[in-house]
Structure formats: C-alpha cells, structure tokens
Amino acid sequence: MIQTLTIQTHSRTEMINMDTTVMKAVRQAGVKEGLCVLWVPHTTAALTINENADPDVVRDILSKTGKVIPFENGYRHAEGNSAAHIKSSLFSPSLTAVITGGRLLLGTWQSVFFCEFDGPRTRKMMVKVVEG
Amino acid sequence: MIQTLTIQTHSRTEMINMDTTVMKAVRQAGVKEGLCVLWVPHTTAALTINENADPDVVRDILSKTGKVIPFENGYRHAEGNSAAHIKSSLFSPSLTAVITGGRLLLGTWQSVFFCEFDGPRTRKMMVKVVEG
Amino acid sequence: MIQTLTIQTHSRTEMINMDTTVMKAVRQAGVKEGLCVLWVPHTTAALTINENADPDVVRDILSKTGKVIPFENGYRHAEGNSAAHIKSSLFSPSLTAVITGGRLLLGTWQSVFFCEFDGPRTRKMMVKVVEG
C-alpha cells in the first residue's frame, strides 16, 4: 500500500515537520515490524531527518545551504531554480526508515522534514510501508 | 535476484540517465509491488534523482558542485581524486525507490542518474528488487 | 530483529569503519538474501560509504566538508553545533545496503563509516535486516 500526502509550502525555502502525518500513515498501514520508504516525486524538494527541538537548527540549515548553493550563481538552466535542483540531490528525495512496534524508530531529537527548495508550491509525498 | 549493469562513462564528471536500464531490470524481476534498491560498488561515483527535461539542470549540478568541491584543493590523498570521494558521500552510492504496478514510482520530471565523479571509467550498478 | 550497536567516538569530527561490526550483525540475523537498513538516532552524526584503503581519503572528506560548513559561521542555534546538524542532513543518518550470500554487497574499496560530526560522544547505530 502506498499513501500519498499533500503538502502546501509557504516560502521559497522551508523545512516542514512531517512526524504526525508520517506516523499516522504508518499506523494506517498496520505493520508492526518493517520498513517505511518515504519519497517526494519532485526535483526541487527533498526529505531529511534533523532536530525538532530548537527551530534555529532548521533556520541554520536553510540559511547556510542557501549561502553555499545560492539561487543566483550564473546557472544555465533558464527556470532560475538550479540551486533547488542541486539541494534536492544533496539532501535526497528519498528516505528509508525502520518501523518497530508499529512506530517509526526515531531518536529523541529526530524528526522527518519535508524540504521545500523552490516554493511556495503544492507538493506530494509518498509513504510505502513494507513488512519484514 | 540482483542484476548487475555495466556503464561506460566518457568524461571526468558526468550524469547518465539510467531510466530505461533500471526499468528493464525492474520488469525482468517481475515484481508488481515492492522496493528497488540501486547500488554502485564505487567510492568515486554515486546515484541521484533529478530532472531529465532540460540538460542544463545536469550541467548546473556538475558545474556548481565542482566549484564547491574542486578537484585541486590541497588534498592529502595522493591519487588526486578526493573531490570525487567527497561528492560520492554527499550524493550517496545507494538509492531506494518504490515499485508499484510493476514500475518505478517516479515523478513527472524525475529520472535516475548515474553520477560519474572521476571518469572516464567502466562502472557497475546493482539493482535489487524486493517484493512487499 | 533490530540490533543496537554502541560506538564511542574520540574527536569532534571522525569517521569510524563499521564493517566488522555490521557484518557480524548481518551474520547474526541469519538472512542470506535481503536488505540491511542502517540508522543512527542522532542529528549531529551520519552514515556513509567510502574508501577504506588510504586513510587520507577520510581526512580529506572531514577536512574539506569542515571548510565548506565551518563550525563558526554566525549560526543562530545556541548550542554551537549547527555545522554538525547540516552535515548530518547532507550525509544522511540512514543507509540501505543489499545482502547477498549472507554478506553485505560492498565494492572492493567500499566500507561503511559512522560519521561523528560533534564528538566525542557515546553514540548508537541500529541494524535492521529484512529478508527478500
């Protein structure tokens, strides 16, 4: 079973905590032990795991990667969003997590984040749960 | 079943669209619903997902990452390809995709790319399909 | 079955070869063909695959990424380890490998490395093996 979630982003770059949504999808899949593969079908967005406690961590991640890979940089791609494509590849559009006891195995400070690198847009995220 | 594909690269850095080859391997595996794990057994190459429509996207990815991680940079590794090793870790040698209806679940603009970071060489890529 | 490994790191940034430990965990799982998902429950550490032969490769990876993402950079996060959070997302806290013949499918020069980006600390790493 594959569940498709819709995400509305509101800024050009943004990281959105997906824990509640992903955990609900895992519960609905009804699998106690297995894997959870998360996927975004976009090339200017990504998924990552990082800290949920201090929102300054997310701000620093977006700010620093925006300085290393700036939007304006003499790129050839005419759409003007090459920086978002590059960040999508570096962060990765896919994430494989472990399910145990019917829940995602996350560390205390870990959350799943949807990374918008060229918003605002309406985005999708797929959740595939495999028993095993 | 693990299928091994051979890839001939032609430049020092290059991204090669692998969609046709990977989709053929998925069809041959005969799995309708499951996971597809792609793997390169190299430490100076990688796999990624990105846009296939405008070839300037690939050019920008290679050009910009080559500026952030240049080949000449006072590295210690005597082989002279430390930049390729670093890019391999940042892009990742492995990719887990979802199979549904016997096909890879890719977004409209998404393609699987083999990333050569220290070519030209003859490379390998493994495709492992798991039902579930 | 999920196995939890403990890792003691000794430097602020460090890459530790985990091959022996991971291969032992795979043997104990007793699975001949399948997947091995590795996971660190931390947001300032990561997992990667890279070369094990010349230790200068690891030195170059840590040194260069430390220059691109320096510890001191005007970050907002008050703990002072934003660079480690950023590197954790770029390298990824998770890795999916293939098991065949009861062993990890690694290339000749590939090893699994635990990446410490904010040590020294006592860390954990989870190994989940799935048959298929």
* Contact assignment for A39 to B130 by CB distance below 8 Å: no
> What average pLDDT is seen over chain B?
97
* Contact assignment for A75 to B60 by CB distance below 8 Å: yes
* Contact assignment for C61 to B37 by CB distance below 8 Å: no
Q: Which domain holds residue C35?
A: 2-131
- Banded model confidence at residue A1, pLDDT cuts 50, 70, 90: confident
Looking at the structure of chain C, the number of domains it has is 1
Joined together, the tokens standing for residue B19 give: 């969609």
What's the CA dihedral at A129, A93, B125, B90 to 10 degrees?
-130
* Contact assignment for A61 to C79 by CB distance below 8 Å: no
With CA atoms as reference, report the closest residue to A113 among A128, A129, A131, A92: A92
Which chain C residues are within 8 Å of B78, Cβ to Cβ?
54, 56
Instruction: Give residue B18's pLDDT.
Output: 98
Joined together, the tokens standing for residue A13 give: 């770059």
Chain C partners (3+ C-beta pairs within 8 A): A, B
Which chain A residues are within 8 Å of B68, Cβ to Cβ?
68-69
Strand order of the β-sheet with B2-8 is B2-8, B122-131, B34-39, B94-100, B103-104
Q: How far apart are CA A30 and CA A35, in angstroms?
A: 12
Instruction: Give residue C98's pLDDT.
Output: 98
Q: How many CA atoms lie within 13 A of B32 on its CB side?
A: 2
Instruction: Give residue B6's pLDDT.
Output: 98
Sequence-distant (6+) residues with CB within 8 A of C120 are C8, C9, C10, C11, C12, C14
Residues A62-121 have pLDDT tens digits of 999 999 999 999 999 999 999 999 999 999 999 999 999 999 999 999 999 999 999 999
Residues B30-45 have pLDDT tens digits of 999 999 999 999 999 9
Q: Is the peptide bond before C120 cis (omega within 30 degrees of 0)?
A: yes
Which chain B residues are within 8 Å of C97, Cβ to Cβ?
39, 94
Q: Taking residues C11-36, report their average pLDDT.
A: 97
How many other C-beta atoms lie within 10 A of the C-beta of residue B78?
9
Instruction: Give residue B95's pLDDT.
Output: 98
pTM of the model: 0.98
The CATH number for A57's domain is 2.60.120.460
